[in-house]
Amino acid sequence: MNSEITLVDVSGAPAREQFVWPTVVLRKPAIEAQIERLASIDRPADGRRAAAVNHPMNTGPVPAYAPGIDVHIIVLKPGEKSAAVLRNSSCVDMCIGGSGVVTTAGKTFHVEKFDVWNTPSMQMQTVENNGNDLFVRLSYSNAPLLERLEVHYVNDKPQIAAQNDESREMAAQQRRARDASTPIPIGSDGAQMLGYEWLVDIDTIDSKALHWPWKDIAPHLENVYGMDLAYTGRHLYVLYNPATERRIGTSPSFFATIAKLPPGKVDKPHRHTSAAINYIMWGHGKSVVNGEKIEWAEGDLHFSAPGWSVHNHASREQGFMALTIQDHPLHIANESLLWQETLKSPILKLGTDLGVQTNLSAIAE
């Protein structure tokens, strides 16, 4: 390795043109074939039969379907249980076949087809197939981003002592170190200087593993499915995790939305810096992404919105339903979420600028 530091003159240099991965679709038959293959192999030591979906433009260091998002197809055979793992990446999962039991941070819940749940960073999780069929899920994480930063912590033999209620109460009653570090105001616009204690004793947010059962979600989707085609917003609900606060996420990095579009709905071309991956749960339709027309149907996995690509989606005669994973909250935290609702609309920085206004109030009257 060349250890010599160099200085590069960038005076007057133009901005680098961004390299956008093209839209691609992993078809249902390929997913089904992979599920069958995983079920046929010997059980791995960690109990995790998994295949990562890799975009043809990805150059690593790990498989990824979008530059900062991986999607794993994970299969458990009846009676199998995955080993606990501890990692600083976070996940959002959807069951697409069978059923099982998820245990995270002492919390256990039953999941079945189209249930969604999140796994917070540094919380151990085990998944068990207690049914008679294959338990299959799609698992999305921000691991590719952390891998590119060379900071992805993974411990496959975690041993963390559980913090009991008494120790939590004692910690809450203790005087915080930063209480002795008085902020120093600088100027009159709110700037301050803070001591070291403010860097290492940050206010906490209770980040929980949450579960969105399909049986509770499905009835509400009829509300958006039945909306007038003149509605200017998207026919969807976000699966909201309160720990993400103003980032409106399912995890700190991703939102998961479930959309149910009525027949004949055509979105206006739009774009955003967040990438999007759609799993088609029902129905079929088409998209145009950067001028490329592409069709998809139930069971397909569509990388539908490469960052800042102009795109739109349209439903066919029955409509369609889809889970969308998008790294929207990550961009809000980075103050990098640019959004253009139509190509005639201004480019907004969501979270700072006044957001997109729809005609929901008029439609609802």
Residue 291 sits in a domain whose CATH number is 2.60.120.10
The least confident of 163-172, 239-248, 251-260 is 163-172
Q: Write a three-state SS string for the chain.
A: CCCCCCCCCCCCCCCCCCCCCCCEEECHHHHHHHHHHHHHCCCCCCCCEEEECCCCCCCCCCCCCECCEEEEEEEECCCCECCCCEECCCEEEEEEECEEEEEECCEEEEEECCCEEEECCCCCEEEECCCCCCEEEEEEECHHHHHHCCCCCEECCCCCCCCCHHHHHHHHHCCCHHHHCCCEECCCCCCEECCCHHHHCCCCCCCCCCEECHHHHHHHHHHHHCCCCCCCCCCEEECCCHHHHHHCCCCCCCEEEEEEECCCCECCCEEECCCEEEEEEEEEEEEEECCEEEEEECCCEEEEECCCCCEEEEEEEEEEEEEEEECHHHHHHHCCCEEECCCCCCCEEECCECCCCCCHHHHHC
> Looking at the structure, do residues 139 and 225 belong to the same domain, yes or no?
no
pLDDT at residue 160, as a whole number: 57
Q: Which residue has the tokens 């995983």?
A: 38
Query: 154, 173, 198 — which closes off a domain?
Result: 154
Residue 168 inside a domain? The answer is no
Maximum pairwise Cα distance, the chain = 67
> Looking at the structure, do residues 242 and 134 belong to the same domain, yes or no?
no
Number of domains within the chain:
2
Q: Is residue 64 a contact partner of residue 141, using CB atoms and an 8 Å limit?
A: no
pLDDT at residue 173, as a whole number: 65
pLDDT at residue 156, as a whole number: 87
> Looking at the structure, do residues 99 and 220 belong to the same domain, yes or no?
no
Residue 269 inside a domain? The answer is yes
Residue 278 inside a domain? The answer is yes
> Looking at the structure, do residues 359 and 228 belong to the same domain, yes or no?
yes
Residue 125 inside a domain? The answer is yes
Residue 147 inside a domain? The answer is yes
Residue 169 inside a domain? The answer is no
Residue pLDDT, tens place only, 79-123: 999 999 999 999 999 999 999 999 988 899 999 999 999 999 999
Residue 111 inside a domain? The answer is yes
Query: 154, 178, 199 — which closes off a domain?
Result: 154
> Looking at the structure, do residues 224 and 139 belong to the same domain, yes or no?
no
For residue 280, give every residue at least 6 positions away whose Cβ sits within 8 Å of its Cβ, in sequence order, or none: 296, 297, 298, 299, 300, 301, 302, 320, 321, 322
Q: State the DSSP string of 7-20.
A: ----TTPPPPPP-P
Residue 164 inside a domain? The answer is no
Asked whether the predicted pLDDT for residue 163 surpasses 70, the reply is no
Query: 139, 154, 169 — which closes off a domain?
Result: 154
What's the domain range around 342?
A: 211-364
Asked whether the predicted pLDDT for residue 266 surpasses 80, the reply is yes
Share of the chain above pLDDT 90, in %: 88
